Structures are given as C-alpha cells and as structure tokens.
C-alpha cells in the first residue's frame, strides 16, 4: 500500500511540475505578446501626428495617408486576433517605411523640427518592436519545443494545447537599424 | 583612439629620451635589490647558524625561522623601493600614454571606481572583504561620459585546514559609461562557463540561477556560445542587446581574449575585463627602453578608450540625445 502511495505521490508531483511548466511557458508567450502589442500601440499613437505633419507637404501622397489611417484604425480594434494583428502590422510597417523613403524627396521636411522629432521617435519604437518580436519568437520556440518533448506532449495533447507560429523577421530587421543612416 | 604608428613616432622622438633618468632609477633599484638579496642570504645563513648552534633549535625550525625572516625583510624593502618607482612610472608613462591617446581624459593614479558603482553594476554579487583599485581615467569620449580604472575585490575564505585567506572575486579593468539607449530594467551578460563545459546540463543549471533573474536565450549563435544573459525584462534585454551590439561584443571579446562581464543597469553600461595580474604597474625587471614593453600599456589603455567606438556607444537613440 505504502509503495503505491509513494509511486502515486511521485506521479502526481511529476504531473504538477509538467503542467506548471507548460502553463508558465504559455503565459510567457502571452505576456510577451502583450508587451509587443503595447509597443505596437505606441507606434499607432504616433501615426495621427505624423500623417498630419506630412499631409501639409506631401500633397501627392493623399492615398497613402488614407491607407495608413485606415490600417491604423483596423489595427486598433479590440476584437482582432494575434494573427490578424500581425498581418495588419506588417502591412503598416511596409507602408511607413516606403513613406519614409519618399520623405527624402522633400528637403523642406528635413528642416521641420516637429517632423524630425516624430521620425526619430518612430525609429526608436521600430527598434523596440524588433526587440519585442525577437523576444516573442524565442518564447514561442521554447513553448513549441516543450510541446514536442516527451512526456509533456502527452499532457499537451490532453490539454489541447497547440503549437504557435513564430513571427517572420525580415533580414533587414535582423541586421538592426543603422543609426547613422537614420539621423542623416 | 591613437594608432600604433603614432605611438611609435612619439616613443622614439620624445618619450624614450624623457625615460632615460627613470630607466637609470630602475637599474639602480634592481641593483640595490640584488645587493640586498645577497646580504639577506648571508644574514639568513648566519641567523640559521646562531639559531641552530647557539640557541639549539632543530635544523628544520632554524631554517624555517631564518628563511622566513629573510624573506619578509626582502619583501618589505622590495615593496618600499617599488612603491616610489611605481608612482613616478605612472606619471611618466601611463599618464603620458593616455595623453597621446586622448588628451581630454583625466588620469588620477590613486583614485578608482567607487564601491557604489561596483555594486550598482551587479556584475559580481559575492560580498567582498577587500576593495582596492587605482588608475582612474575619466572624461568624455565622443560625447559619452566614461570612467574606468583597475579594480581588485577579494573575499575571505577558509581552506580545508581552517586557515583564512583572501580569494579574488574580480581583478582587472572596470569600465562604466552612459549607454546609448534609455531603459529601466537590468540585463547582465556573463562569460558562459557552464554551457561550454557541461553542455545542455549547463544551460539547465543556468536557468536555475535565481539570483540573477531570468535566463535569456538570444538569437545570435556566436554570442550565445560565449556568453550567458540574465535579465528582468525579455523585451528590454533584446532592445539593449540588438544583433549589431551582440556582434560587436563578440568581436571585442575576440580582440581582448580575456573573460568579459557586461551589465546594463538604469541606462548605463558596465564592463569588467578580468585579468590575472595588476594592470598599469611597472615590471622592475623590464627595461623602459624596450618599445614592446611600453606598447603593452598603450594597447591596454587604447582598448579601454576604444570601447566607446567599438560598441558604438556614441550613436545615441532619440530619447538619449
């Protein structure tokens, strides 16, 4: 009887440890995603100001501004799931970066204090987003690895936990921002 | 940062001539120490004979007493002679080399990085019993406020026979500067001893180290092989340790080839480079007229001053401008 109790106790202990490991890894992914989301919001908050400043000078880019504003409002909707959020963010990122390239054709903007401040803040937020994505991917990798390991995979199957997708990080983003180019 | 060729020119055109009196002084001290050593050996023999024949000590006791006394007297004289020479050496060699590298930097041979800054870095969590240092360099390099000095911290430990002795916690160059990004959390980068020697088990053990915060796995293979990273905030740690910075730290490690410890606390960077010897101290047996000898000090100072450029600490992000 005692032996059974010891074995039962040991199994229960192992079950609790594995269960808690899985939950903590899952929560870690959610926490980091929340962090990433907070930084993305920081960028969304910059957009109205940026658009207002640029509109005065870049009259031919009205369509781009409309698209950016609409993407921003879509991205801020609370009902969005993680996947849609990231898809919208990707689209917004690429529009913003091409807009920043176009800005170079407007030398008058380079002398505008307000714009320069917004541009620098935006680049800083981009760096934070890049860091948050890397942190998110690492936490997803840890979580996915745990899901595949025996005997956690059995428990994960029982808890109906599924693998999560990592975010694709562009090579340019990996290489990090070249500060010299940013502050030309 | 100065180049080796500029040092070569300065050394042969100006410095070598100025060092001639100091070289004479070095030779005088070495000769004096040799003579002292000769007389001490004679003294030890006489003392041994007196102890053994007159005072009836056993040969073992007599030799231990006499050799120990001779040794202590020699060490006392050696330290006294070296201290005076060291002070002049630092004024005439270290200060002048530093001036060649960056004339705006301030050198104080007797000052060092304070205990508060050392503790704030959280690089070495062990409680220390002795905190010593020297050769503080401070100033602004490419608009970055920088301070570095030699530091030596030790703690008392008892060996298996219960004897107390001082064990080194850290000895080497301690560098602190403003970091180019603003952040609130703490990130510590340490040499990865466990993973290199124990593999996966080492990684698991590192994860168990609760005193350092959470173990961070970073997405730079080379960096991960050499360092282990702990931090409070996974996003901020990666914000600090961008791919570009990790790359530069790996290159710095390869260049210096000594264990490097880094921490990022309250928007400041702390770097500790461990050496197994005192830095900026003269070696009495080496001639000051040898360029290779002077070059070693120059390279050490140049490496420390060059950290700002190597890690691009001067390229600040907006919030730190």
Domain extents for chain B? 4-182+267-320
C-alpha B158 chain-centroid distance:
25
Answer yes or no: do B315 and A130 touch at CB < 8 A.
no
Region label for B134, one of left (φ > 0), alpha (ψ between -120 and 50) or beta (otherwise): beta
Domain definitions of chain A by residue range: 14-182
How much is the pLDDT for A160?
82
How much is the pLDDT for A176?
45
Q: At what angle do helices B16-49 and B59-89 cross, to 10 degrees?
A: 170
Question: CA quadruple B124, B130, B134, B137: dihedral positive or negative?
Answer: positive
- Tens of each residue's pLDDT in chain B, 321 residues: 678 888 888 888 888 888 999 999 999 999 999 999 999 999 999 988 888 888 888 888 888 988 999 999 999 999 998 888 999 999 999 999 999 999 999 999 999 999 999 999 999 999 999 999 999 999 999 889 999 999 999 999 888 888 888 999 999 999 999 998 889 999 999 998 776 666 666 666 666 666 788 888 888 889 999 999 999 999 999 999 998 899 999 999 999 999 999 999 999 999 999 999 889 999 988 988 888 899 999 999 999 999 998 888 887 665 555
Among A135, A140, A142, A176, the residue to mutate for chain B (most B Cβ within 10 A): A135
Are B227 and B192 in contact by the 8 Å Cβ rule? The answer is yes
DSSP letter, residue B288: T
Query: Residue A120 is nearest to which of B234, B245, B318, comparing CB atoms?
Result: B318
Determine how many CB atoms are found less than 10 A away from the CB of residue B18. Answer: 12
Query: If you write DSSP's letter for every residue of B98-158 in order, what string do you get?
Result: HHHH-TT-EEETT----HHHHHHHTS--S--SEEEEEEEEEEEETTEEEEEEEEEEEEEEE
How much is the pLDDT for A111?
79
Q: What is the C-alpha separation between B29 and B283, in angstroms, rounded?
A: 12
For chain B, the first-to-last Cα distance in angstroms comes to 23
Q: Report the predicted TM-score, pTM, of the whole model to 2 decimal places.
A: 0.83
How much is the pLDDT for A179?
41
Q: In chain A, which stretches have pLDDT less than 70? A: 169-184
Q: What is the C-alpha separation between A57 and A80, in angstroms, rounded?
A: 33
Chain A residues with beta carbon closer than 8 angstroms to that of B317:
120, 123-124, 127, 179
* Torsion angle of the four alpha carbons A86, A92, A93, A94, in this order, in degrees rounded to the nearest 10: 120
Measured between CA atoms, the residue of chain A closest to residue B315 is A179
- The two tokens of residue B158 are 């008892």
Q: Which fold has domain A14-182?
A: de novo design (two linked rop proteins) (1.20.1440)
Q: What is the C-alpha separation between A99 and A173, in angstroms, rounded?
A: 17
Answer yes or no: do B238 and A134 touch at CB < 8 A.
yes
């Amino acid at each position: 009887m005692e032996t059974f109790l010891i074995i039962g106790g040991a199994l229960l202990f192992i079950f609790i440890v594995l269960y808690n490991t899985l939950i903590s890894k899952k929560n870690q992914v959610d926490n980091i995603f929340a962090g990433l989301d907070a930084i993305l919001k920081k960028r969304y908050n910059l957009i109205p100001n940026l658009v207002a400043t640029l509109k005065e000078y870049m009259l031919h880019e009205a369509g781009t501004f409309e698209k950016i504003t609409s993407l921003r409002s879509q991205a801020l909707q609370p009902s969005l799931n993680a996947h849609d959020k990231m898809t919208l963010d990707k689209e917004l990122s690429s529009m913003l970066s091409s807009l920043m390239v176009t800005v170079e054709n407007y030398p008058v903007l380079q002398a505008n204090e307000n714009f320069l401040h917004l541009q620098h803040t935006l680049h800083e937020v981009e760096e934070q987003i890049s860091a948050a994505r890397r942190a998110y991917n690492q936490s997803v990798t840890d979580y996915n690895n745990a899901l595949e390991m025996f005997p956690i995979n059995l428990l994960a199957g029982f808890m109906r936990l599924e693998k999560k997708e990592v975010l694709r990080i562009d090579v340019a983003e990996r290489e990090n921002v070249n500060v010299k180019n940013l502050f030309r | 940062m100065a180049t080796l060729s500029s040092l070569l020119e300065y050394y042969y055109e100006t410095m070598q001539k100025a060092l001639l009196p100091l070289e004479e002084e070095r030779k005088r001290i070495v000769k004096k120490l040799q003579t002292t050593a000769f007389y001490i050996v004679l003294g030890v023999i006489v003392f041994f004979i007196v102890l053994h024949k007159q005072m009836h000590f056993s040969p073992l006791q007599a030799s231990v007493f006499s050799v120990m006394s001779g040794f202590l007297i020699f060490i006392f004289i050696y330290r006294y002679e070296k201290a005076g020479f060291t002070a002049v050496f630092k004024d005439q060699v270290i200060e002048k080399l530093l001036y060649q590298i960056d004339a705006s930097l301030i050198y104080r041979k007797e000052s060092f990085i304070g205990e508060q800054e050392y503790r704030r870095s959280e690089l070495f969590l062990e409680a220390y019993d002795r905190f010593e240092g020297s050769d503080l360099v401070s100033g602004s390099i490419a608009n970055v406020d920088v301070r570095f000095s030699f530091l030596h911290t030790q703690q008392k430990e008892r060996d298996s026979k219960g004897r107390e002795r001082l064990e080194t916690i850290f000895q080497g160059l301690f560098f602190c500067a403003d970091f180019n990004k603003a952040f609130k959390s703490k990130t510590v980068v340490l040499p990865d001893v466990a993973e290199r020697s124990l593999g996966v088990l080492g990684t698991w053990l590192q994860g168990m180290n609760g005193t350092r915060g959470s173990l961070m796995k970073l997405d730079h293979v080379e960096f991960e092989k050499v360092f282990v990273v702990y931090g409070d905030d996974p996003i901020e740690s990666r914000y600090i340790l961008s791919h570009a910075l990790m790359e530069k730290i790996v290159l710095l490690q390869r260049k210096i080839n000594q264990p490097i410890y880094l921490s990022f606390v309250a928007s400041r960077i702390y770097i500790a480079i461990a050496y197994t010897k005192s830095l900026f101290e003269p070696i009495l047996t080496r001639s000051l007229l040898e360029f290779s000898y002077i070059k070693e000090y120059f390279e050490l100072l140049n490496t420390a001053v060059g950290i700002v450029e190597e890690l691009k600490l001067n390229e600040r992000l907006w919030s730190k401008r």
